[in-house]
Amino acid sequence: MPDSGFLALFLVGLLGGTHCVGMCGGIVSAMSMGGGAGWGMHLAYNSGRILSYAAAGAIAGALGAASMGLEGQVPARMVLYFIANLMLVALGLYLLGVSGALAFTERAGQALWRHLQPLTRRFLPVRSMSQAFPLGMLWGWLPCGLVYSALASALTAGSAERGALMMLAFGLGTLPNLLLAGLVLARLNEFVRRPVVRTISGLLVLGFGLYGFFGLARLSGWL
């Protein structure tokens, strides 16, 4: 994965803010109501969430590197790139209003989430940063098509370290949306739900995926 992949995942996280607010807005709002959470508490929550993304990226990067090390690594690499860009296309379509484009990925993570979700109740209502941080770590494993789209790209990172860094870049991209969601939730919700915002975001993310397919076609000699 070229270094431009870090910027691409940062932008995917940033542009996918409409999905972030939809998935995490409820818990962020509940956290705010628990004790008048300010910047520190929201930063602690989001730090835990992004740390979980990085851990998942390390796992994805290691798995991808292992598959590339097998015999016939060029086809394996092409398959991983295909999956990564297919997920970006699905995310772009979701942002454009094709609501079922990411549903299959979110169903795949439900088994793990059923075991983790009960643990989140130990930290609610949130009244301190020491509660917010582990809550964020747990919430980072919430089944989310946006996160899975980024993880598919982390599969192509080539190592656990680069996979973790790619998901760190993605997590930092999601930070502005969710940080603002905790402090000005009503206004942010109104903004990200505007059709023009979703359309522009969807087209840009879709463009990332289609550009990746173009690069894959050139790599395979089809172009």
Q: 65-90, pLDDT tens digit by residue?
A: 888 766 555 677 788 888 888 888 88
Q: What is the pLDDT of residues 10-67, one digit of tens each?
A: 888 887 766 666 666 566 666 655 555 567 888 899 999 999 999 999 999 999 888 8
**What's the pLDDT score for residue 29?**
62
Integer Cα distance of 93 and 171 in angstroms: 21
18 with 175: CB under 8 angstroms? Answer: no
Mean pLDDT value of segment 157-179: 90
pLDDT greater at residue 189 or residue 53: 53
Chain centroid offset of residue 83 CA: 15
Confidence (pLDDT) at 133: 95
Quick one: pLDDT at residue 186?
Answer: 47
The whole-model pTM stands at 0.81
List b or e across 33-64, with b for residues whose CB sees 16 or more CB atoms inside 10 angstroms: ebeebeeebbbbbbbbbbbbbbbbbbbbbbbb
Assigned token pair, 202: 């969807």
**pLDDT-wise least confident of 20-29, 37-46, 118-127, 191-200:** 20-29
pLDDT the model gives residue 137: 96
Mean of the per-residue pLDDT values for the chain? 79
More confident residue, 33 or 165: 165
